[in-house]
Each structure stands twice: as structure tokens, then as C-alpha cells.
Amino acid sequence: MTPETDTIETPSFCAALARLDQLARELRTGDLDERLARLPHDVAEAHRLKRILLDRSVKIREAIACLRGHARPIHPA
């Protein structure tokens, strides 16, 4: 890995959701050739953000279950 990839932090839930929304807006607007050129990168980023959002939502759901007293076993990350 390069030093740049070593320091990449996982965005917060809200930041990931906002970036996913921004990607969707960018795919609907602008020059078609530019959008097509960025498409592979944008799709890869969207998939990465989706995984982050799903992982975080599972943790949130488990935390809520614990607070309600219906705790499920927490799976190691």
C-alpha cells in the first residue's frame, strides 16, 4: 500500500450517505462523455459506500436491540 491509502479513513454514516447522494446527482447531470469516462470509478465508489452504510446500519441495529434488552450476539468486525 502507498502512504495515501494507509491514511484513508472510513467516512461517517452521514458523510457516506451524502457522498452517495452526490454521486447519484453527478451521474444525472453534466456532459455525457465525462460521465461515461468516470462511470467505472463512480460505480466502484458507490459499491464501497454501500458496504460501509450496510455495515454501519447493522451496528446501529444491534446497538438498538441491546438498548431494548433484546441483545443479539455482536459479531466481530
What are the pLDDT digits (tens) for 45-75? 999 999 999 999 998 888 888 888 865 666 6
Inter-helix orientation angle 32-68/13-28, to 10°:
150
Rounded distance between C-alpha atoms, residue 32 and residue 16, angstroms? 25
Q: Are 23 and 42 in contact (CB under 8 A)?
A: yes
Residue 4 maps to a domain: no
pTM equals 0.67
Domain count, the chain: 1
Quote the pLDDT of residue 3: 52
* Single-letter amino acid, residue 3: P
Write out the residue range of the structural domain in which residue 58 sits. 11-68
Q: Are 9 and 49 in contact (CB under 8 A)?
A: no
Residue 3 maps to a domain: no
